A and B are shown apart, each in its own frame.
Chain A
Amino acid sequence: MRDTSSIGANQPLTEATFFILLSLVPGQAHGYAILKDVQRLSANTVSLSTSTLYTALGRLTDQGWIERVDNQETADSGRPRKDYQLTGAGKSALESEMLRMQRMLSAAGQRVNEAAT
């Protein structure tokens, strides 16, 4: 609905946001697949309710980081299914967050090593 893909203003990402974006890296996925993937990627530390998941998906769609796309297949229940996929801005946001985390880890590792020696 709007273009608020400003990455810096949205960093650091919440754990849920980070894992949702990460789960969409391989390609588009539907809500339940994202839900399970987030759980798996976070080693069961992040377990989203469907309401929390859809609130996050709505916000990310507004930010232009993901988009909702049609999927011609239908779920087991026979209902029509919608998928979500990363946009260019979403990929940039994820990469930027990973870079930020790497810098933090690097700084932390360096300090710990210095202290150990």
Chain B
Amino acid sequence: MNALQGLKRLFQLALVLYPVQYRADFAEERLAVFDLAASEAAGRGRAALLAFGARELVELPGAALAAHVRWGRWTMIASIRTLLAVKPDRWGNALLAGLPHLLFAVCYYLPVMISPVTASTPAWMITWHKWLTDFPLTWAALLLVQRADYWLHARVFFQSVAWVWGLSVLAVTLAGWRLGWPRWSASWLGYALIVILQSLITLFPQDVPSFISICIWLVMACAIYAWQTARSPLHGLLALLPFYPMFTWWLAADGIIGTYSDMAAYVGAAALMTAAVALMARTGSTKLALILLAGLLLLGGGGFAYATTYHSNAPDPSDPYPGEVVRGILFYFLGMLIFSAPVWGATIWRARRKRLST
């Protein structure tokens, strides 16, 4: 083997540094061009051939790396685009996907809507406080001991609302399962996770059991979000939205006597969420879904940072409210980024698998 043939052989071997797909498309062409250029250099003498060969082999690894970046980037983007392409759905199904958000807000704030709330009204009287564990006890107390107690009636009623809400969510989720998990069912499945979380918080309110139960729930929720994302990223996003931002807003109101303005903010946000989710489900556009979500977080983050949930006193011009609002918005964006990790993680993982398989 002479120097020219050796160099060609070396170049052919070095092409293995390029991505497989690139080699499939370009290897033959690259070899042909290299053959001609190397032969031309060889015609100018041995030194010219060596200089040519050295330069080619030195520059090849950098070019191969650039090809990996370019190829990987574009094939990945193409894979993600394929995953995001979801067909539009009917309006009826789309509204069904949005409905649980409004239902949750209305049920949760029903006590505030119908109770004569005053500053002295204890929180447990008008919230879903211990709805899971105390429900039989409050019923028993109502039936056996204090029939005339207004607050006991109210508490039984509100706890019943919580039960009706929880069981409704589980029933619709079950229907979604029987129908093969259509798109609208992702929202209900997400709220089923919330019902389970609410139950765990009620059953294990503190200490180690609380920590363990929350950890188990997190693992289960992440697996379900990822599984839904495997159906489509839009499924994953719809399943996630009940937890964030809706449930975090609920958590923000936890233990605080809601006012009518809080209720208006929360139910208003839920109505917006319902409309946004219906649009997401109707169009099937993940891009639109992310834009709507960003808008909601912007509105919600600001609104809730400003609500009496965080500021029990009347707005004071000397208070740094704008700062609170900005922090609130940033908190919701950052939170969404963290909580949506199973969704975008599963999307990237699927895109990589899809890319490799093609």
A12 within 8 A of B: no
B74 within 8 A of A: yes
A residues 37-69 touching B (CB-CB < 8 Å) = 49-55, 58-59, 62
Q: Is A32 touching B28 in the complex (CB atoms < 8 A)?
A: no
Q: Is A79 touching B26 in the complex (CB atoms < 8 A)?
A: no
Q: How far is the CA of A55 from the CA of B32 in the complex (A)?
A: 16
Q: Is B70 touching A62 in the complex (CB atoms < 8 A)?
A: yes
Which of B33, B64, B78 is the one whose CB lies under 8 Å from A31? Answer: B33
Contact with A along B10-50 (1 / 0, CB 8 A): 00000000000000001011111111110000000000000
**Which residues of B sit under 8 angstroms from A81, Cβ to Cβ?**
29, 32
**Which residues of A sit under 8 angstroms from B34, Cβ to Cβ?**
50
Q: Is B37 touching A55 in the complex (CB atoms < 8 A)?
A: no
Which of A50, A76, A82 is the one whose CB lies under 8 Å from B37? Answer: A50
B62 within 8 A of A: yes
**Which residues of B sit under 8 angstroms from A52, Cβ to Cβ?**
59, 63
Which of B32, B56, B62 is the one whose CB lies under 8 Å from A77? Answer: B32
**Which residues of A sit under 8 angstroms from B26, Cβ to Cβ?**
54
Most chain A Cβ neighbours within 10 Å, of B31, B35, B37, B67: B37
Q: How far is the CA of A113 from the CA of B120 in the complex (A)?
A: 90
Minimum Cβ distance to chain A for residue B248 (Å)? 37
A1 within 8 A of B: yes
**Which residues of B sit under 8 angstroms from A2, Cβ to Cβ?**
74
Q: How far is the CA of A46 from the CA of B36 in the complex (A)?
A: 18
A93 within 8 A of B: no
Q: Is A55 touching B56 in the complex (CB atoms < 8 A)?
A: no
B residues 58-105 touching A (CB-CB < 8 Å) = 59-60, 62-64, 66-67, 70, 74, 78
Q: Is B66 touching A55 in the complex (CB atoms < 8 A)?
A: yes
Which of A53, A55, A59, A75 is the one whose CB lies under 8 Å from B36? Answer: A75
Minimum Cβ distance to chain A for residue B319 (Å)? 45
Q: Is A58 touching B70 in the complex (CB atoms < 8 A)?
A: yes
Closest to B71 in A: A58
Q: Given A51-B62, A51-B63, do A32 and B36 touch, yes or no (CB 8 Å)?
A: yes
A35 within 8 A of B: yes
Q: Given A50-B37, A62-B74, A77-B35, do A31 and B59 touch, yes or no (CB 8 Å)?
A: no
Q: Is B70 touching A82 in the complex (CB atoms < 8 A)?
A: no
A residues 78-95 touching B (CB-CB < 8 Å) = 79-82
Chain A positions within 8 Å of B, measured between CB atoms, are: 1-2, 30-32, 35, 49-55, 58-59, 62, 75-77, 79-82
Chain B positions within 8 Å of A, measured between CB atoms, are: 26, 28-37, 55-56, 59-60, 62-64, 66-67, 70, 74, 78
